[in-house]
């Protein structure tokens, strides 16, 4: 796949996460918090979370000029 999570490291006492992603051979690193992730997902049913993941993936694929059908998210 063109987008790979290559590393997730807990830092700052475990409350923050440093995410490393490889996109088309370019490495991107950013930091977020567990609270930020929880706030984003809070109140969403599991089906809504899956739907959000699929929509984000479809948007990414479309921006890259790639098909959005028959794509596996593993």
pLDDT tens digits along 20-66: 999 888 999 999 999 998 998 898 999 999 899 888 888 888 887 88
56 shares a domain with 74 = yes
* Range 5-20 average pLDDT: 90
Total number of domains constituting the chain: 2
Domain that holds residue 13: 1-41
Tell me how far apart the alpha carbons of residues 36 and 18 are, in angstroms, rounded to a whole number: 13
3 shares a domain with 34 = yes
60 shares a domain with 34 = no
59 shares a domain with 37 = no
pTM for the whole structure: 0.63
What is the DSSP pairing of strand 3-11 with strand 16-23?
antiparallel
User: Which among 50, 71, 51, 52 is positioned nearest to 3, based on CA atoms?
Assistant: 71
66 shares a domain with 30 = no
When pLDDT is cut at 50, 70 and 90, the band that residue 74 belongs to is low
């Amino acid at each position: 796949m063109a987008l790979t999570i290559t590393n997730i490291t807990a830092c700052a006492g475990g409350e923050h996460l440093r995410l490393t992603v490889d996109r088309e051979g370019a490495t991107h690193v950013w930091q977020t918090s567990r609270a930020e992730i929880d706030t984003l997902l809070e109140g969403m049913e599991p089906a809504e979370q899956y739907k959000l993941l699929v929509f984000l993936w479809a948007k990414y694929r479309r921006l890259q000029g790639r098909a959005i059908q028959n794509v596996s998210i593993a």
